Structure 1
């Protein structure tokens, strides 16, 4: 059963290495401003995260199968004794990779939000530039007409 735990943790470690690579690729695509490629990369990241979550659920099942009272690997570690040392080392590597992925994801998030803010500001600027500046227009008689922004009474001929 310990072999299953080690295999599961090994798959998680390899998955996190791939995730880190995908996050770095996403960052380079964000800096290159390639939205279609970013979207494709994002779908890959989401699928990998789904698979990693499934591995975590399977790991939890293996832990409970070994020791029904254990809820986490740390709880199980006391039961395993010296046999759990390689598992501890593997989990330390997984934790370090998770931290690196979290830092890279935070960088990607900040960059994506900054680009979205920049695009919104540029769009607002362009809208302000194309809006008419004044309300003065010419009437049918060729004079500058004044507009009444508030309600006005209409008088017709009887």
Structure 2
């Protein structure tokens, strides 16, 4: 592939954009929360416990209600997940993660719309997004406001 001036400029601009995202408040907050989570022994113990129970949960799911430990595992996984989710470090990290994801989704939308109004833009969870923001690519065929 021959490098043209246009492709080199495009790579330079994309590097600048990546640098701006990494220096954003959302990214800084995300990295701060990540470090706080990783440095909290109690939070990490909850995460490790949940991950180890997930393996047991997946084994139980293969047999469903017929597994001898079905009720116990289901109850234990729910309690462990609730305990993990209620941890301050985990909750703060998830909020920061969602904020950074929202920034990335907005940047993707701006870039996608600059290419074409009908381009498919994978952003967030479509179930929770209000409307499809034009990301469906059907040009409004899904009754959205595209």
TM-score by length of 2: 0.31
**Higher relative contact order, structure no. (Cα contacts within 8 Å, ≥ 6 residues apart):** 1
